[in-house]
Structure 1
Amino acid sequence: MKKFKWARFKGEMQWIRCYAHILNLIAQSILQPFGTVKKRSAARESKGDVNSLDSSDESEGEDAEEQICRYDNNNSAYNSGDEKDPEDADEAVQREFLEPELTLEDIHDLCEEDEDEDLYTTAICKQTLAKFRAVARKLRKSPNSKSEFVELCKEMRCEKPHSIVQDVRTRWNSTLDQLVSIIRCEKAIMAWQKDKKYGLDRKFHINGVDIQLANDLVSILQVFYEQTLQVSIPGSARLTHIIVFIDEITDLLSNAIKGEDNKYPPALRNACRVGLQLTNKYYTLTDCLPLFRIAMVLHPSFKDEYFKIAGWESEWITEALRLTREMFDTYYKPVTNGPPPTDPRKVTKPKTGNIAQLGAAMAARGQSTNDPLELWLGSGLLLDDGSPIDALKWWIQQKRAGNTHGGLLQMALDVLSCPGQFLHG
């Protein structure tokens, strides 16, 4: 690693935002609209509102907005104890360098919700998540209810584990884990909740719409969870990987928002809009970091074509190429000697007509393709069955083969190997 010239990447403009933090902010922003109101009036609680979880045997003083928080990889998602979660060691760093997450109020052109036509609305989503928390709390606080529930799971052949994960306040991914466990034990829940002795109050009963919402949220959040696990492995998250991760998240949220085949109701599409705008806020257009732009250009599966497909304006594409050119010319361009001597005895017969024009065109093309960066941009994209290849692995293979790409090799290794996140021990 000492061979990498990371010391050249100085100053705030070269800082790489920790992808693990931003990944969690995006996931949190998607879930945020479905949180319950923090302060509930006594009158509202007395009416037994489903959003109020402060029933006689389930009160813990937590609400959805407190529970739906960013991921902390130091704690197990299946830990359902009563102990308080420790403050994250890097909370101060996140607050200093990352702006607050967006909310629905920050988004324009939201899809209009229809209470009569939509399968579920934002208000229903809040109630559904409250129901799921009520199930988990009841099973955790009542051993007899838990025993009855486990027996039903066995009887109905639900997959193990036969438990509902607790939604913990400092781990957004625990919401996903809870959703997965609800889906896994759906049949048992439907039977157990009706038990007058061990089940739930009727206001917390889960129905088919609640299960559909759980499935929809899992289809969105699963990618965030998988990426979080990958970037949590020390040394595994390099800038070359972050590029692919961001493209995957952007594609996921964009397709969800399009609403093709009416796959998701407006409530979830609007939530995805928040997540997509936050993604764009940190990683595209004018907010895109110089190193990130350069890494895109040096990625064999993207180059400058990605900017065009993503709809970047020509000025931004030009700036990305300028930054790449500037770094290459300043630090990596090989020192060239003078042109080779020509043979004075060799006489070139002058060309005329179309042959002369063809020769001039070939000469012009030859001049332009002598430049390593122009050669790189002019070559085709490399894909693996339609998906991006492992860029860092590809460049390492080029090094072993002795192909320096005119100096681009070392530049690509330096840029693409930059850490995409940091972990605290």
Structure 2
Amino acid sequence: MSTPIEVEDENVNASIAIEESQSVHLEEEDGETVNEDIEEPGLSKAGRKRKSPVWKHFVEIEVQEKGKVVPKVECKHCKKRYKYVDGGPTSTLLLHVKSKCAALKKERGKTQGMLNFESQESTNFSLGISGPGGGYDHAKNREIMAKMIIAHELPFAFVEYTWFNILMKYNNHMFQKVSRQTIKKECMKVFESEREKMKKWFKDISKISLTSDCWTSNTSVGYMSLTAQYVDANWKLQKRIISFIDLAPPHSGEVISDGILDCLMKWGIQDKIGTITLDNASSNDRAAYLLKSNFEGRDKLHFGGLFFHVRCCAHILNLIVQDGLKVIKECLFKIREGVKYLRKSPSKLFKFGEIAIAHGVETKRSLCSDVQTRWNSTHRMLKSALHYKTVIHQYAMRDPNYEWEPKDVEWDEAGKICKFLEVFVEATNIFSGTTYPTANLFLVETYNVKKEICEAYRSSDEFLRKMSKPMFEKFEKYWGEVGVLMAVASIFDPRFKLASVQYTFRELYQEYEVVDRIKEVTDHLRALYEKYAKAVVNSLNSNAATSTSSMEETSTSSEALSAAQSRIFAFIKEMNGESRSKSDLEVYLEEPPFVPEGGRPFDVLVWWCQNCSKFPILSKLAKDVLCIPVTTVASESAFSAGGRVLDDYRSSLSKDMVELLVCGGDWLRAASKSTVLTLQQLAKEEEQLEVEIAMKNLSMS
């Protein structure tokens, strides 16, 4: 009985029957190759016309072997040779054409637009496209499907979808259907495997910074996210969600600290925590105090506890701006309700666009509403409303039901505050950057915010003074004492060094305070450096002692130093003590600032990576400081994933399965550098008012 096999070639689709009972007479030849151009045989020796499509890729040749002429076939593309018996099966030749010929694959890739996956070395992520020997591996295929479900947040039932299975079967007839229960177990295996990899990575990390936040799901279950941030051995900033667990109410400081400690113990990183970033809730303050006491009691409080509790800068900015927006709450209410009214009806939007065209107002800008708890969306709403100020006025004159047009004085106040908030938008984009910016960037942004508030506070405009007063008070409450962390981190930016602190402190503090404030920062920096230097020396002495002990054990017959040699070594040691070389820190601060070439984007971690051999001790301190996050954005991003995983259709997932999908998805996406479009990103598209389309239709009529 024969089995048909579909063969797809560039211009040929044929079915070839391979006799299962036939013995294969073909054998791969590893000898030398020749580059002769031989005509393609169209007939066999028996005179029959060859129908197999493989003969488009092979030619018959004759070679000398041990004094005899031996017939063989040679691949036209890679010149590989095989023994061949005339009239015999062509299954080995077919296998070569379909999967073994690299030259043919390369040629087809140029014309067929085949997908090229990044190498494992460049992504540190195995896509696992083929199994051992290039054949089909059902276990590997199941593992890849599990990773796909975790990384892209798909339901387990996805593997049972009819058309998914049709697609898989079409691509490989050996594919076997997988049930949702089987893939669920496979997801668990993948999660455990990835967690073990993470544990091994953490063993080589000296300091880890944490961020944490709490969230309540649609099922009213409270969850806590814990994120680890660190700089890896290649000086790349990394972020991983290491825990997404449920918390029993109430979410007190004791409950939060116990949950964090339990997670750290499971990961084995309880002695590597340098800082933890939390928002300004009182329960978080209590949790930070308890954690700090625990680490201090075990003598594992790094940086001398100087940076241990970091307050979320994005949260502080939000509090400051919300206080400022209260002065125009009536204007905001009118604009917000007016936008809602216009967006409810396509006919109203079309009429609005018609008026915009008539008055020469650019219609490409969207007319968007806001989320009241997100001040940056309120700022965006204000900008769009100000752009359409004339159009809103004309529309209100034509529609008697539109009753939310702001007064002229309200428009004026909205314009002032919209311009004023630009610096806050820029600072928020830096603080909440999706690429998790390094800590050296934050001091300058804090300075810009303080400068803008102070200028408004000293302004002759009564409205600006009234608006900035509560903002100034809130700034002084949280940032009156600019954190030492921001100042020290800014010094590690080789473009500015001490100049960043000297310049910004003159604006942030009173003149009589500046010198003492700068001295305080430099004293802290030197103290930290000395601790790191001492730790390095102790490590070297320990290694040297071990080496000396080993040498004494293995070289008992070596001669002792003579008295003269001993005196010479003592003299050298004394000279080295008298002429002490400058420390890494002193050399770094005395060198002129680094100037990037050609205005290229500057990456502070790349610079330290290139100079770590020059500053062996200081670079260790820089690595640990620059990775400290000043916002909880990393942890809050987990709640977006949690909201997608725990949607209305999967709200009954177990807590362990939720952690698997949230944490495992984060690990796989980070390793493969892939992204998932979030619900928030999709919502942004819905905020857009496509006035431009209506204008084009109108202008043609």
Q: What code does the residue aligned with 2:467 have?
A: A
1:340 and 1:32 map into 2 onto residues whose CA distance is: 74
1:267-324 residue CA offsets vs partner (Å, 9 max, x unmatched): 2233234334433433342xx4443342234333252424652434444333322221
Q: 2:422 pairs with 222, 230, 236, which one?
A: 222
2:502 and 2:571 map into 1 onto residues whose CA distance is: 35
Structure 2 residue 611 is the aligned partner of structure 1 residue 408: no
How far does residue 411 in structure 1 lie from its aligned partner after superposition?
A: 0.9
Counterpart of 1:331 in structure 2 is 532
1:377-396 residue CA offsets vs partner (Å, 9 max, x unmatched): 444555779x9x95xx2453
User: Where do 1:50-61 residues align within 5 Å?
Assistant: none
SS at match of 1:341: helix
Counterpart of 1:281 in structure 2 is 477
Q: What code does the residue aligned with 2:274 have?
A: F
Counterpart of 2:584 in structure 1 is 372
How far does residue 3 in structure 1 lie from its aligned partner after superposition?
A: 3.9
How far does residue 175 in structure 1 lie from its aligned partner after superposition?
A: 1.6
Q: Would the alpha carbon gap of residues 293 and 229 (structure 1) be closer, same or farther in structure 2, given more than 3 Å must change?
A: closer
The structure with higher relative contact order (CA 8 Å, sep 6+) is 1
How far does residue 376 in structure 1 lie from its aligned partner after superposition?
A: 3.7
SS at match of 1:419: coil
Contact 1:295 1:415 in 2 (8 A): yes
Counterpart of 1:237 in structure 2 is 437
1:223-264 residue CA offsets vs partner (Å, 9 max, x unmatched): 3234434444434233122223222222332333343xx5xx
Counterpart of 1:180 in structure 2 is 383
2:521 and 2:346 map into 1 onto residues whose CA distance is: 60
1:384 and 1:277 map into 2 onto residues whose CA distance is: 38
Which runs of 5 or more residues in structure 1 are unaligned? 36-125, 345-363
1:136-174 residue CA offsets vs partner (Å, 9 max, x unmatched): 233245555433222212322323357642233322222
Q: What code does the residue aligned with 1:18 have?
A: C
Q: Higher Cα Rg: structure 1 or 2? A: 2
Counterpart of 1:111 in structure 2 is none
Structure 2 residue 590 is the aligned partner of structure 1 residue 396: no
How far does residue 375 in structure 1 lie from its aligned partner after superposition?
A: 3.9
Contact 2:382 2:418 in 1 (8 A): yes
Counterpart of 2:413 in structure 1 is 213
Structure 2 residue 486 is the aligned partner of structure 1 residue 292: yes
Structure 2 residue 356 is the aligned partner of structure 1 residue 160: no
1:220 and 1:188 map into 2 onto residues whose CA distance is: 24
1:325 and 1:416 map into 2 onto residues whose CA distance is: 16
1:340 and 1:251 map into 2 onto residues whose CA distance is: 57
1:174 and 1:235 map into 2 onto residues whose CA distance is: 21
Q: Would the alpha carbon gap of residues 379 and 270 (structure 1) be closer, same or farther in structure 2, given more than 3 Å must change?
A: farther
Q: 2:506 pairs with 309, 328, 340, which one?
A: 309
Contact 2:339 2:367 in 1 (8 A): yes
How far does residue 340 in structure 1 lie from its aligned partner after superposition?
A: 7.5
Counterpart of 1:117 in structure 2 is none
Q: Would the alpha carbon gap of residues 275 and 374 (structure 1) be closer, same or farther in structure 2, given more than 3 Å must change?
A: farther
SS at match of 1:31: helix
Moved over 6 A (4+): 336-340
Contact 2:310 2:630 in 1 (8 A): yes
1:414 and 1:400 map into 2 onto residues whose CA distance is: 16
Q: 1:271 pairs with 445, 467, 474, which one?
A: 467
Contact 1:235 1:419 in 2 (8 A): no
Counterpart of 1:24 in structure 2 is 318
User: Where do 1:111-190 residues align within 5 Å?
Assistant: 126=330, 128-141=331-344, 144-161=347-364, 164-190=367-393
Contact 1:297 1:321 in 2 (8 A): no
Contact 2:343 2:349 in 1 (8 A): yes
Q: What code does the residue aligned with 2:359 have?
A: M
Structure 2 residue 207 is the aligned partner of structure 1 residue 5: yes
SS at match of 1:228: helix
Which runs of 5 or more residues in structure 2 are unaligned? 1-201, 209-271, 276-291, 293-304, 542-568, 639-701
Q: Would the alpha carbon gap of residues 280 and 413 (structure 1) be closer, same or farther in structure 2, given more than 3 Å must change?
A: farther
Counterpart of 1:249 in structure 2 is 449
Q: What code does the residue aligned with 2:438 have?
A: R
How far does residue 132 in structure 1 lie from its aligned partner after superposition?
A: 1.8
1:33 and 1:199 map into 2 onto residues whose CA distance is: 27
1:399 and 1:162 map into 2 onto residues whose CA distance is: 43
SS at match of 1:193: helix
Contact 1:139 1:145 in 2 (8 A): yes
Q: Would the alpha carbon gap of residues 371 and 418 (structure 1) be closer, same or farther in structure 2, given more than 3 Å must change?
A: same
Contact 2:372 2:378 in 1 (8 A): no
How far does residue 212 in structure 1 lie from its aligned partner after superposition?
A: 2.9
Task: Name the count of aligned residue pairs.
Answer: 300
Q: Would the alpha carbon gap of residues 223 and 343 (structure 1) be closer, same or farther in structure 2, given more than 3 Å must change?
A: closer
Counterpart of 1:15 in structure 2 is 309
Contact 1:297 1:324 in 2 (8 A): no
Q: What code does the residue aligned with 1:165 have?
A: C
Counterpart of 1:318 in structure 2 is 519
Q: What code does the residue aligned with 2:519 have?
A: T
Q: Would the alpha carbon gap of residues 308 and 190 (structure 1) be closer, same or farther in structure 2, given more than 3 Å must change?
A: closer
2:473 and 2:596 map into 1 onto residues whose CA distance is: 29
Contact 1:257 1:272 in 2 (8 A): yes
C-alpha RMSD over aligned residues = 3.7
Contact 2:440 2:489 in 1 (8 A): yes
Q: Would the alpha carbon gap of residues 212 and 379 (structure 1) be closer, same or farther in structure 2, given more than 3 Å must change?
A: farther
Counterpart of 1:99 in structure 2 is none
Q: What code does the residue aligned with 2:314 have?
A: A
How far does residue 34 in structure 1 lie from its aligned partner after superposition?
A: 2.9
Q: 1:341 pairs with 572, 575, 582, which one?
A: 572
How far does residue 176 in structure 1 lie from its aligned partner after superposition?
A: 0.9
TM-score for both structures, normalised by structure 2: 0.38
Q: Would the alpha carbon gap of residues 217 and 322 (structure 1) be closer, same or farther in structure 2, given more than 3 Å must change?
A: same
How far does residue 188 in structure 1 lie from its aligned partner after superposition?
A: 1.2
Contact 1:27 1:275 in 2 (8 A): yes
Structure 2 residue 237 is the aligned partner of structure 1 residue 34: no
1:307 and 1:147 map into 2 onto residues whose CA distance is: 50
Q: What code does the residue aligned with 1:373 have?
A: L
Percent pairwise identity: 23
SS at match of 1:167: coil
Counterpart of 1:418 in structure 2 is 628
Contact 2:328 2:413 in 1 (8 A): no
More strand by share: 2
1:275 and 1:383 map into 2 onto residues whose CA distance is: 36
Q: Would the alpha carbon gap of residues 185 and 404 (structure 1) be closer, same or farther in structure 2, given more than 3 Å must change?
A: same
Counterpart of 1:67 in structure 2 is none
Contact 1:19 1:421 in 2 (8 A): yes
1:166 and 1:180 map into 2 onto residues whose CA distance is: 11
